[in-house]
Amino acid sequence: MKNTLKKAGYNKVQKQMNDVFLQFTAKLVFFIVIMFSFNLFFAGHYTPGGGFVGGLLAAAALILLLIAYDRKTLESMVPIDFRLVITIGLVFAAGIPTLSFLFGTPFFTHQHTYVEIPVFGEVALHSAVLFDIGVFLTVAATALLIIVLVGEADE
């Protein structure tokens, strides 16, 4: 970010960019955005949302942190290897459709059922959610991987 600003003509960028307002707000907004992304993800089957949007928003929340702080701080805040997350996501996306053989149905046939849970009431369980988790993780991790990497290259 620093170099980007410099190149754009903002010469007075300090060595350590510390924007207290931005950082404080980012911390706060991060949680709102990430909760919203989870909400979108889980609500996807009945109302607008889903794995792709949820994943992008989760990535956006982390990118906000990246902009407010820097890469090293982000790494210490979220010590995750995004390549691993991509792998896990792909395993979910490709593995869940295969599991339908266990139920004796063709490839990619989803299973669903309804469960009565005391506090929440009737809850729908759907294997599409597991598939969507794969989409969510892959999308979020790929977007972050690219942006962190490209941002890192200018140091």
Partner 1 sequence: MALIHLAILLPLIAAIAIGVIYRYYKRLHLGWFVLPVPLIIVIYLLTLVPRVSSNQLIYESLAIMPRIGMNFDVYIDGLGLLFAILISGIGALVVLYSIGYLSHREDLGSFYVYLLMFMSAMLGVVLNDNVLMLYLFWELTSISSFLLIAFWFMKERSLYGAQKSMLITMGGGFLMLGGFILLYIMTGTFSIREMLNQVAAIQESPLAPLAVVLILFGAFTKSAQFPFYIWLPDAMEAPTPVSAYLHSATMVKAGIYLVARLTPLFAFSELWVWIILLGGLITMAWASFNAIRKDDLKAVLAFSTVSQLGLIMSLLGLGALSVVTGANEEYFSIAVVAAVFHLINHATFKGALFMVTGIVDHEAGTRSLKKLGGLLTVMPVSFTLTLITALSMAGLPPFNGFLSKELFLEAMIHVGDANFSALADVAFIFPLLAIVGSIFTFIYSILLIYGVFFGKRTYDTPKEPHEAPALMLISPAILTVLVLVFGFFPNVLSGTIIDSAAMSIMASDTPLETHLYMWHGFANPALWATVFIVITGTLLFYFRDKWMFIYDYHKDRFTLNYLYDQGLIYSRFGSRKITDSYMSGFIRSYLVYIFLFFIVMGILTLLNTGIRISFDDMAPVGIHEMAVVLIILVSIAVILGTKSRMVSIIMLGAIGFSMSLFFVFFRAADLALTQLAIETVTTALFLVCFYHLPKNSRHQERMRFKLTNFLVSLGVALIVIIIGLTAYSNRLFDRISEFHIENVYELAAGGNMVNVILVDFRGFDTLFETLVFGIAGIGIYSLMKLRLNRKDGNNEEHAEESRI
Binding stretches for partner 1 (CB under 8 A): 1, 3-4, 7-8, 40, 44-53, 56-57, 59-60, 63, 67, 82-83, 86, 89-90, 93-94, 97, 101-102, 104-108, 110, 112, 124, 126, 128, 131-132, 134-135, 138-139, 141-143, 145-147, 149-151, 153-154
Q: Which is nearer to partner 1, 30 or 141 (CB)?
A: 141
Rounded least distance, CB 124 to partner 1, Å: 7
148 SS3 class:
helix
Select 2 or 27, whichever has its Cβ closest to partner 1: 2
Residue 142 Cβ, how far from partner 1 at the closest point, in Å?
3
Nearest CA to 145 out of 93, 71, 35 is that of: 71
Min dist. Cβ of residue 75 to partner 1 (A): 16
Smallest separation, CB 16 to partner 1 (Å): 18
Contact 130, 96 (CB under 8 A): yes
* CA dihedral over 66, 69, 75, 76, signed as positive or negative: negative
Q: What is the closest distance, in whole angstroms, from the C-beta atom of residue 99 to partner 1 in the complex? A: 11
Q: Which is nearer to partner 1, 80 or 94 (CB)?
A: 94
Burial letters for 111-130: b for 16+ Cβ neighbours within 10 Å, e otherwise?
A: eeeeeeeeeeeeeeeebebb
For the CA atoms of 56, 60, 63, 69, what is the dihedral angle to 10 degrees? -160
- Say how far apart CA 122 and CA 114 lie, in whole Å: 7
